């Protein structure tokens, strides 16, 4: 590698660099990251399994009492699934703190450190994740409304232009659908990106819940393309892993006369539906660390772009902690706060080759 200054240069990460570094870190800390990401995914898997069983029984049972019980079970399964999704947002903040501690003091990436940091701010993180979920629901609704409006305008235009027939109509429909989907996705990711760094701001910077929301809004700028690229990559990788894992189940179900078509999901046997949901969640668990690392690196990169965060990290590694003086308030926040989360004791500096700010030498 080059000198330390070149390693810590203010070089923004593009979408490809972001994904590449997330995959490299994922490969380096594979088992640890799986242990970190597994608990929320297992909670979601339990909820989806309960929901699948309850839904099938609700539509099949003739007994009113059993139907009430299965409806309650269905509501419980949906609630557990939502809790798993909120837990994933919480774990994302803890993983970012672990990553920054690793970059700053060469702390080992461990599930224990991640969940210890989460425990220190759990209720605040839970409230923050609820606020993030509400905002994402609003972003989804607005994006869908924009999609619907563009689709309606397209339908009205084609209705008035009745002279356009045949294959030209199909081309216009396809072109209009692509525009509607792209514009709706841009609106969604533009709004969703505003709250992408709420848990990170709480655990890395020690912000309160509402201060972290404001901090995320001010920090998240120009990240729409990178968020979209990371989402598309993660979705593609997840369903690629699902395709590999699902092949044995599909083969076994086909041999036993199961209608393996996705359109025939209502006719699947219970055992096949449960196995499908379990495998789906397993593929999510395998790929969830990439999503988690991507957001962590995106947060660090935003601070590098706007605040020279790599210089802060370099100074914090080379210089002792700034002393607290009575009546003096420093305008500079530390690279990693220790007041609202478990105290990390930086190890003594040992001679050796300099490390990159993203720890990928």
Residues 21-39 pLDDT 10s: 888 888 888 888 888 888 8
Least confident of 51-65, 77-91, 124-138: 51-65
Residue 144: pLDDT band (50, 70, 90) is very high
What average pLDDT does range 121-127 have in this prediction?
88
Sequence-ordered alpha helix ranges (H) in 3-29? 4-7, 15-28
Q: What is the pLDDT of residue 140?
A: 92
CB 81 within 8 A of CB 96: no
Residue 331 per-residue DSSP state? S
Q: What is the pLDDT of residues 224-239, one digit of tens each?
A: 788 888 888 877 877 7
Q: What is the pLDDT of residue 79?
A: 92
Neighbours of 96 (CB within 10 A): 27
Helix (H, G, I), strand (E, B) or coil at 309: helix
Q: What is the pLDDT of residue 139?
A: 92
- Single out the residue of 107, 14, 46 nearest to residue 282, CA to CA: 46
Q: What is the pLDDT of residue 262?
A: 63
* Residue 357 pLDDT exceeds 60: no
What token pair was written down for 223? 């990240």
280 vs 127, higher pLDDT: 127
- Single out the residue of 73, 75, 46, 43 nearest to residue 57, CA to CA: 73
Residue 333: pLDDT band (50, 70, 90) is low
Residue 358's Cβ-count burial label (10 Å; 0-12, 13-18, 19+) is buried
**Percent of the chain whose predicted confidence (pLDDT) is above 90:** 5
Residue 266 per-residue DSSP state? G
Count of CA atoms in the C-beta half-sphere (13 A) of 196 = 31
255 vs 75, higher pLDDT: 75
What's the rounded Cα separation, in Å, for the pair 271 and 81?
A: 20
What average pLDDT does range 63-84 have in this prediction?
87
Q: What is the pLDDT of residues 299-320, one digit of tens each?
A: 878 877 777 766 666 666 666 6
* Residue 138 pLDDT exceeds 90: yes
Residue 323's Cβ-count burial label (10 Å; 0-12, 13-18, 19+) is exposed
Q: What is the largest CA-CA distance in the chain?
A: 81
SS3 breakdown of the chain: % helix, strand, coil, rounded to 5?
75, 0, 25
Radius of gyration of the chain (CA): 24
Neighbours of 359 (CB within 10 A): 17
What average pLDDT does range 81-103 have in this prediction?
82
* Residue 346 pLDDT exceeds 70: no
* Residue 156 pLDDT exceeds 80: no
What token pair was written down for 105? 């003091």
Residue 361: pLDDT band (50, 70, 90) is very low
What average pLDDT does range 129-151 have in this prediction?
90
What's the rounded Cα separation, in Å, for the pair 228 and 24?
A: 20
What's the rounded Cα separation, in Å, for the pair 87 and 89?
A: 5
Mean residue pLDDT of the chain comes to 76
Least confident of 188-197, 242-251, 312-321: 312-321
158 vs 42, higher pLDDT: 42
Residue 1: pLDDT band (50, 70, 90) is very low
What's the rounded Cα separation, in Å, for the pair 166 and 4?
A: 63
* Residue 10 pLDDT exceeds 50: no
At how many degrees (to 10) do helices 15-28 and 270-307 cross?
120
Whose tokens are 């084609």? That residue is 158
91 vs 239, higher pLDDT: 91
Q: What is the pLDDT of residue 135?
A: 93
Q: What is the pLDDT of residue 322?
A: 57
CB 145 within 8 A of CB 191: no
Q: What is the pLDDT of residue 316?
A: 62
Neighbours of 43 (CB within 10 A): 20
What token pair was written down for 199? 């848990």
Q: Give φ, ψ of 349 to 5 degrees.
A: -70, 130
What's the rounded Cα separation, in Å, for the pair 173 and 179?
A: 10
Neighbours of 199 (CB within 10 A): 30
What token pair was written down for 204? 């890395």
CA 229 centroid distance within chain: 13
Measured CA distances, 176 to 169, 170, 182 (Å)? 10, 10, 10
Instruction: Enumerate the domain spans of the chain.
Output: 8-312
Least confident of 80-89, 127-136, 249-258: 249-258
Helix (H, G, I), strand (E, B) or coil at 9: coil
């Amino acid at each position: 590698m080059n000198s330390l200054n070149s390693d810590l240069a203010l070089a923004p990460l593009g979408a490809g660099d972001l994904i590449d570094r997330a995959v490299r870190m994922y490969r380096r800390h594979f088992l640890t990251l799986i242990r970190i990401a597994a608990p929320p995914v297992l909670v979601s898997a339990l909820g989806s399994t309960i929901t699948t069983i309850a839904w099938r029984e609700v539509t099949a049972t003739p007994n009113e009492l059993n139907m009430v019980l299965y409806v309650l079970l269905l509501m419980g399964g949906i609630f557990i699934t939502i809790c798993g999704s909120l837990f994933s947002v919480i774990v994302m903040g803890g993983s970012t703190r672990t990553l920054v501690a690793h970059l700053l003091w060469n702390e080992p990436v461990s599930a224990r450190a991640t969940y210890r940091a989460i425990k220190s701010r759990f209720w605040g993180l839970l409230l923050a994740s609820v606020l993030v979920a509400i905002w994402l629901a609003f972003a989804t609704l607005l994006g869908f409304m924009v999609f619907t409006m563009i689709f309606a305008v397209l339908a009205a235009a084609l209705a008035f232009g009745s002279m356009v027939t045949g294959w030209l109509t199909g081309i216009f429909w396809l072109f209009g659908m692509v525009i509607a989907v792209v514009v709706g996705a841009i609106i969604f990711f533009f709004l969703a990106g505003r709250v992408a760094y709420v848990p990170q701001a709480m655990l890395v910077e020690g912000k309160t819940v509402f201060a972290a929301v404001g901090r995320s809004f001010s920090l998240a700028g120009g990240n729409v393309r990178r968020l979209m690229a990371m989402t598309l990559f993660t979705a593609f990788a997840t369903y690629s892993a699902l395709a590999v894992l699902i092949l044995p189940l599909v083969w076994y179900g086909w041999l036993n006369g199961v209608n393996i078509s996705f359109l025939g999901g209502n006719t699947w046997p219970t055992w096949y539906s449960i196995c499908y949901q379990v495998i789906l969640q397993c593929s999510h668990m395998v790929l969830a660390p990439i999503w988690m690392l991507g957001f962590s690196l995106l947060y660090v990169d935003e601070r590098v772009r706007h605040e020279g965060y790599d210089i802060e990290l370099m100074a914090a590694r080379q210089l002792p902690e700034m002393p607290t003086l009575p009546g003096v308030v420093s305008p500079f926040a530390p690279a990693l706060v220790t007041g609202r989360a478990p105290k990390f004791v930086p190890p003594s500096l040992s001679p050796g080759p300099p490390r990159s700010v993203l720890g990928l030498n």
